[in-house]
Structure 1
Amino acid sequence: MSLWSRLAELLHCLPGPCALGTFVDGIVETVKSVFGGDPEMRRQVAFSVSMIALSAKMAKADGVVTADEVEAFRQLFVIPEGEAKNVARLYNIARQDVAGFEAYATKLAGLYERGAEIYEDIVDGLFHIAKADGAVHEKELAYLARVAALFGMTSAAFQRIEARHIVPEEGDPYLILGVDRAASDDEVKRHYRRIVSATHPDRLIARGVPPEFIAIATQKLAALNGAYDRIRRQRAFA
């Protein structure tokens, strides 16, 4: 059964008519119970639900949903024709829900282990959507920073993600890579190889990112490679 068919199953299993204000509680408990016996599918559904719900809340926080943001959303969600209504239903319920985004982020964080790498994947995806209209606006950046904090991410981890998405070719390459400027050439090389390995699509899929979302990894790798190349040229090492 496909991810999107399982998402439809999830929506069907939610208690009652998905009353506003209780939706996030219902969806978190339903993901845990319905997919408890299938850890891989549970991780994929949890990631998909998190992305859909938090991007819907980001659209509400920003006040405007542009055509570019909708297109960016669709780039992340390669949705079969017959499954679009399930994603749209979840997105619309989350956007209309009277519960604030902080309640959503806090509840959704309970689907993952504390400090899990998947948090960065989610924030990466949200940045991808936020910057689709050409800029990450002030309200969007504040939203993303708060979500990251509620996920338990450090400010340094959030700054690395921000640097990758906001004019990465002009940003501090050491910040983008997350490596100390005083690190030796060999330390920079080892760090670069380690984070590139962690960003490989197979690693993302293993921790719950569905294959449909590999655009996140592709963009992240491009930013990391660009930062490493700039450091390599500055230091003149092979």
Structure 2
Amino acid sequence: MQIWGKFFGGVIGFMFGRFFGALLGIWLGHQLDKRMAQNSALTRQTQFFNTTFAVMGHIAKASGRVTENDIRIASMLMDTLRLDSLARKEAQQAFRDGKSADFDLLYYLRRFRTLTLGRREVQQMFLEIQIQTALSDGELHPKELNILRTIASELGFSQSQLDALLKRWQAEFRFQQPSSNAPSEHDAYHVLGITPAASDQDVKRAYRKLMNEYHPDKLVAKGLPQEMMEIAKRKAQDIQAAYERVKLARGMR
């Protein structure tokens, strides 16, 4: 059963479908489906799948107790992935394993690191999935942060790299919330991947780069299925809104 592509595409689209990870996850999933079919696919896929849900359970428990919202999120993710009954039971058990007091996070992470064969993009995807889990309620508990730091360290990401990912995901989370107020200027900068110190030219360059990445022709060339074009359009709308917010604040034309 090929689940890598389904997992990557489904989880990122499910958690924050309008965010950067959606399209990247789906593209990576397509590539991984092809690669893993040639190299002990089932074993690696199953280990990755179970590790991801186990660590999600561990993060959910970190704030003190697993809430109904945590369980709902895990269940909705399983629904989105269209797991069959057996796979769903395995995912539920992995999630429960992660909640246990004796859960060996380091063992799971080191096994995962070996499993991914040094694929940096896969390791970052895993880290971002866990970041999204921690931020699912809009807050980041200190114990959740400590777990994320452990994950980043074991996978070879620096503190500054983790901080950058956290800022981006926190900004995009806030940027997506329905509100009567205009999007935050601070968050808009993070959506564009730049800081307020950037020059006007840097702002324009960042905007053009992002819009170019989400151009339909480029996405088709990367193997993205036509069905995902709507996600690309929504992401482009987010980028456009962030750019307009920054332009307004700067008085740019």
TM-score by length of 1: 0.60
Is 1:190 aligned to residue 194 of structure 2?
A: no
Higher alpha-carbon deviation: 62-71 or 189-198: 189-198
Q: Which residue of 1 aligns with 2:108?
A: 104
Contact 1:60–1:95 (8 Å) recurs in 2: yes
Using the TM superposition, give the Cα deviation of residue 113 of structure 1 relative to its aligned residue in structure 2, in angstroms: 5.2
Aligned position for 2:247: 232
Tell me, in whole angstroms, the C-alpha distance in 2 between the residues paired with 1:128 and 1:116.
18
Q: Which residue of 2 aligns with 1:57?
A: 58
Within 5 Å, which residues of 2 pair with 1:208-219?
A: none
Q: Which of residues 75, 80, 83 in structure 2 aligns to 1:80?
A: 83
How far the C-alpha of 1:158 sits from its partner, in A, is 1.8
SS of 1:80's partner is coil
Task: Classify 1:109/1:67 alpha carbon distance in 2 versus 1 (closer, same or farther; 3 Å).
Answer: same
Q: Is the 8 A contact 1:114 1:152 kept in 2?
A: no
Q: Shift of residue 105 of structure 1?
A: 2.1
Preserved CA contact (<8 Å) 1:115 1:153: no
Q: Aligned pair in 2 of structure 1 residues 133, 99: CA closer, same or farther (>3 Å)?
A: closer
Residue type of the partner of 1:119?
Q
Q: For each residue in 1:107-158, what CA deviation from the matched residue of structure 2 results, as whole angstroms up to 9, or x when unmatched?
A: 3122335472333322332233223344221211221122122222233332
Structure 2 match to 1:89: 93
Which residue of the other structure, out of 140, 147, 152, is the alignment partner of 1:148?
Answer: 152
CA deviation profile, 1:7-40 (whole Å, cap 9, x unmatched): 9xxxxxxxxxxxxxxxxxxxxxxxxxxx572588
Q: How does 1:1-238 map to 2 (within 5 A)?
A: 1-3=1-3, 37-38=38-39, 47-77=48-78, 78=80, 79-82=82-85, 83-96=87-100, 98-112=102-116, 114=118, 116-166=120-170, 168-169=174-175, 170=184, 171-194=186-209, 227-237=242-252
Give the letter for the 1:3 counterpart: I
**Number of residue-to-residue matches in the alignment:** 200
Deviations 1:26-83 (A, max 9, x none): xxxxxxxxx5725887886565334212112223433311111122223333233523
Distance 1:160 1:228 in 2: 19
State the SS of the aligned residue for 2:116: coil
* Separation of aligned partners in 1, 2:124 and 2:240: 18
Task: State the superposition RMSD in angstroms.
Answer: 4.4
Quick one: which amino acid aligns to residue 68 of structure 2? Answer: A
State, as a whole percentage, how many aligned pairs show the same letter.
25
Q: Name stretches of at least 5 consecutive residues in structure 2 with no aligned partner.
A: 8-35, 176-183, 223-230
